[in-house]
């Protein structure tokens, strides 16, 4: 398969041949989960989003899934003898429900499309097509998603190979609009990730089992995760590790924990020390340049992830997108679009918290957060981490393409 050009991230995308097997999301979802509940070169430069291929989008680049041939039914034995009825057991054993798997509310019926749905895993990866995932990506397609296991299993080469396969990511509770279904997959657009690719939001494919059509509980207060990652608990057992910016309804507070629920209605709690309690839809962090820098530094040393938008790993523009999201500021998803929004800033007038951009052949491919002293905080490329880079160092010195201000 020749992968389509990637549309997000910080490395220049190139067409790639791949002989690795793809994974059907329908077969990797956990048992019992109903679908209805559900520049620089790629290796040497510092990248941003790759330029889109003319006439192509995540919606149109889809390769139909191949249905395996049905297995012929076994021939019945002639005149089989009836089996005696099984005797009832003397006692009936009761299997307790594991603490780490709280009971969920019955899933709502699948509505008529297009319809709102909500991410029901810690992080859902937005794939370029249903055929994009490889065998190594199987755990990222499950319900619940095995994000840590997925990242730990990939080699450096396999991480680079995400270019052209992964377009973005979404965190638990994030709203999407489902506009069509295909073999256990949902094609969605993401309203909170603005993009020129689609006026409705960033497009791509997510396993249907990782979404739920359940309408969120309406409450006056939200709990927003303020640590890079934090754990949801069922009783005394940890259940799901979630990312910064995950927004949960506050159902109660006491004993050092916030009582809340996952998007599918499962009762969970989270430590009060890991969240900020805000009014419904409110911002947990101050909209100042200094606090933008402070938030960015919380991710120092985090490995780069192509298409990443969460505390488990970022690409360059996914990093800036989340940091600004934490102060109630929605900016475009990709670096080239971020460079066209906000207020333009002359280099001599740069202030901490401004976004600085870098281009090659006229195309913006990288973004960082200016921190002062002619330096930026950025997530450069696969094989690197969130770090401080000098604007005087190459390739940044020769590729500087301007700055934008989104907060005062």
Judgement on whether residues 40 and 181 belong to the same structural domain of the protein: yes
Domain boundary residue, one of 212, 242, 270: 212
Q: What are phi and psi of 249, to 5 degrees?
A: -75, 135
Q: What are phi and psi of 230, to 5 degrees?
A: -150, 165
3-class secondary structure, 316: helix
Is residue 177 situated within a structural domain? Answer: yes
pLDDT of amino acid 110: 75
- The domain total for the chain is 3
Judgement on whether residues 38 and 164 belong to the same structural domain of the protein: yes
Domain boundary residue, one of 184, 212, 240: 212
In the numeric block, the tokens 């190459």 are attached to 394
> Per-10-residue mean pLDDT for the chain, 408 residues long?
43 42 47 39 39 38 40 42 44 40 59 95 98 98 97 98 98 98 97 97 98 96 98 96 98 98 98 98 97 98 98 98 98 98 97 98 97 98 98 97 96
Can you give the pTM of this predicted structure?
0.77
pLDDT of amino acid 191: 98
- Residues in CB range of 24: below 8 A, 6 or more apart: 65, 130, 183, 184
Reported as type and span, the H/E element at residue 400 is strand 400-405
* CA separation for the pair 294, 274 (Å, rounded): 16
pLDDT of amino acid 86: 45
Query: 187: burial class by Cβ within 10 Å (0-12, 13-18, 19+)?
Result: buried
| CA proximity to 45, closest of 403, 394, 401, 397 | 394
Judgement on whether residues 171 and 313 belong to the same structural domain of the protein: no
pLDDT of amino acid 24: 53
Judgement on whether residues 41 and 147 belong to the same structural domain of the protein: yes
Assess contact for 403 and 344: CB atoms under 8 A. Answer: yes
| Alpha-carbon dihedral 17, 20, 22, 27, rounded to 10 degrees | 180
Which DSSP symbol is given to 236? T
Judgement on whether residues 271 and 303 belong to the same structural domain of the protein: no
Assess contact for 214 and 24: CB atoms under 8 A. Answer: no
pLDDT of amino acid 408: 86
Domain boundary residue, one of 279, 302, 320: 279
Q: What are phi and psi of 166, to 5 degrees?
A: -105, 135
| CA proximity to 366, closest of 320, 311, 299, 309 | 320
Is residue 72 situated within a structural domain? Answer: no
Enclosing domain of residue 254: 221-279
Residue-wise pLDDT tens digits, 253-312: 999 999 999 999 999 999 999 999 999 999 999 999 999 999 999 999 999 999 999 999
Is residue 12 situated within a structural domain? Answer: no
Assess contact for 149 and 312: CB atoms under 8 A. Answer: no
* CA separation for the pair 374, 352 (Å, rounded): 10
Judgement on whether residues 125 and 29 belong to the same structural domain of the protein: yes
pLDDT of amino acid 218: 95
Judgement on whether residues 366 and 303 belong to the same structural domain of the protein: yes
| CA proximity to 116, closest of 198, 197, 193, 215 | 215
Sign of torsion, CA 310 324 248 255? Answer: positive
pLDDT of amino acid 11: 57
Is residue 60 situated within a structural domain? Answer: no
Judgement on whether residues 274 and 294 belong to the same structural domain of the protein: no
Q: What ranges make up the beta strands (E) of 30-159?
A: 115-119, 123-127
| CA proximity to 374, closest of 348, 399, 395 | 348
Is residue 147 situated within a structural domain? Answer: yes
| CA proximity to 366, closest of 397, 326, 325, 405 | 397
Q: Give me 161's structure tokens.
A: 């190979």
């Amino acid at each position: 398969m020749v992968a389509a050009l990637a549309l997000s991230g910080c490395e220049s995308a190139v067409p790639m041949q791949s002989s690795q097997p793809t994974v059907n999301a329908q077969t990797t979802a956990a048992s019992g989960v109903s679908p209805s509940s559900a520049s620089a070169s790629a290796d040497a430069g510092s990248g941003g989003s790759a330029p889109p291929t003319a006439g192509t989008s995540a919606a149109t680049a889809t390769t139909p899934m191949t249905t395996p041939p049905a297995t012929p039914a076994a021939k019945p034995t002639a005149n089989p003898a009836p089996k005696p009825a099984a005797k009832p057991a003397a006692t009936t054993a009761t299997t307790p429900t594991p603490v780490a798997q709280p009971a969920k509310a019955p899933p709502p019926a699948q509505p008529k499309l297009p319809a709102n749905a909500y991410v029901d895993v810690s992080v859902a990866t937005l794939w370029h097509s249903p055929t994009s995932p490889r065998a190594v990506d199987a755990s990222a397609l499950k319900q619940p998603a095995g994000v840590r296991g997925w990242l730990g299993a990939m080699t450096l080469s396999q991480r680079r190979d995400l270019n052209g396969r992964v377009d973005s990511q979404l965190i638990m509770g994030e709203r999407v609009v489902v506009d069509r279904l295909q073999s256990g997959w949902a094609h969605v657009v993401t309203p909170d990730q603005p993009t020129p690719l689609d006026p409705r939001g960033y497009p791509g494919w997510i396993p249907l089992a990782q979404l739920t059509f359940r309408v969120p509980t309406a409450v006056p207060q939200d709990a927003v995760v303020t640590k890079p990652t934090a754990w949801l608990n069922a009783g005394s057992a940890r259940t799901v590790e979630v990312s910064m910016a995950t927004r949960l309804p506050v159902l109660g507070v006491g004993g050092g924990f916030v009582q809340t629920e996952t998007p599918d209605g499962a009762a969970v709690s989270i430590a009060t020390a890991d969240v900020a309690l805000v009014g419904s839809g409110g911002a947990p962090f101050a909209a100042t340049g200094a606090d933008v820098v402070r938030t960015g530094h919380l991710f120092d040393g985090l490995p780069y992830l192509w298409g990443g938008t969460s505390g488990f790993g970022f690409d360059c523009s996914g990093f800036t997108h989340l940091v600004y999201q934490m102060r109630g500021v929605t900016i475009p998803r990709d670096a080239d679009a971020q460079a066209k929004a906000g207020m333009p800033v002359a280099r001599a007038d740069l202030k901490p918290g401004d976004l600085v951009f870098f281009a090659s052949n006229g195309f913006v491919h990288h973004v960082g957060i200016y921190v002062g002293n002619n330096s930026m905080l950025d997530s450069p490329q696969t094989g690197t981490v969130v770090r401080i880079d000098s604007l005087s160092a190459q390739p940044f010195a020769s590729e500087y393409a301007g700055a934008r201000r989104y907060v005062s």
